[in-house]
Amino acid sequence: MSRADVCVLACAEAFRGDGEILAAGIGGAVTVLAARLARLTFEPDLLTHDGVCLLTGDVPALGAAPGVVEGWLPFREHLWLVLNGRRHVMLGASQIDRHGNSNISCIGDWARPKAQLLGVRGAPGNTRCDPTSYWIPRHSRRVFVPEVDMVSGLGTDRGAYELRRVVTNLAVLDFATADGSMRLVSTHPGVSVADVVAATGFDLVIPPDVPTTREPDAGELAVLDRLDPGRAREREVAA
């Protein structure tokens, strides 16, 4: 059992209860594996794709071509899914604040940034119209900031449709608070509440009792190993 296994399962749990919508993992092995693991275990009605534009009838391993293609998702259909709330996306963030406003655009002042990043991409539409979660491989004060330098994805204080979960290499967090601010849900095995607090640049809501993040059982580990025999997930998760 590794930290990466726990992180993939925690990301997969974000899709629990979604039913027949597109589960879209963006930006790395962990989020793609999470959607596929959820579909093969507790959320069989999820739609998954090949990473480009094919909806897959089967659930292939990372890097493998699908054996069954159920549909084609050109850009216009992709936009329809987004605008009609039929997609749960798991995004990344270069910065995120206590209300879940995220930044993937630039670091520093927008007029003269220190670093140019991706641009807002689809973050505004996704966060306004669909359930959205985040996977952040390195939980640090550089990422979890008091105020993002530019709002790319909307937070709970700016009209986000539903911010579901934030999963990091240290913990699971959500926004189930009276004012929609970030709450600590669980810490991963071997991680303390103090570790999470020290790595966060704003005050988290911390319940009196914070459990340990659930570890995958033998069946889930077997599915995960079939989906990722090369263990690409390990290279993505910071120790």
Distance of CA 115 to the CA centre of its chain: 23
Range with top average pLDDT, 19-33, 52-66, 78-92, 95-109: 95-109
Looking at residue 31, its pLDDT comes to 95
Q: How many helices (H) and strands (E) does the chain have?
A: 7, 12
The amino acid at residue 189 is: P
pLDDT, one tens digit per residue, over 84-108 is 888 999 999 999 999 999 999 999 9
Kindly state the helix (H) or strand (E) to which residue 237 belongs, with its residue range: none
Burial of 34 (0-12, 13-18, 19+ CB in 10 A): buried
Helices (H), 84-231: 123-129, 193-198, 218-227
Measured distance between the N- and C-terminal CA atoms of the chain, rounded to whole angstroms: 14
**pTM of the complete model:** 0.95
Q: What is the mean pLDDT of residues 98-127?
A: 89
In the predicted model, what is the mean pLDDT of residues 129-150? 96
Mean pLDDT for all residues in the chain = 93
The H-assigned helical ranges of 45-201 are 75-83, 123-129, 193-198
20, with CB counted inside 10 A (0-12, 13-18, 19+), is: exposed
User: Strand pairing partners for 54?
Assistant: 72
pLDDT of 74 strictly over 90: no
**42 lies in which domain range?**
3-236
- How far apart are alpha carbons 159 and 176 in whole angstroms? 15
Of the pLDDT bands very low, low, confident and very high (cuts 50, 70, 90), residue 121 is: confident
Residue 134 sits in a domain whose CATH number is: 3.40.1080.10
The total number of structural domains that make up the chain: 1
Q: What confidence score (pLDDT) does residue 49 get?
A: 87
What value does the mean pLDDT take over residues 2-22?
96
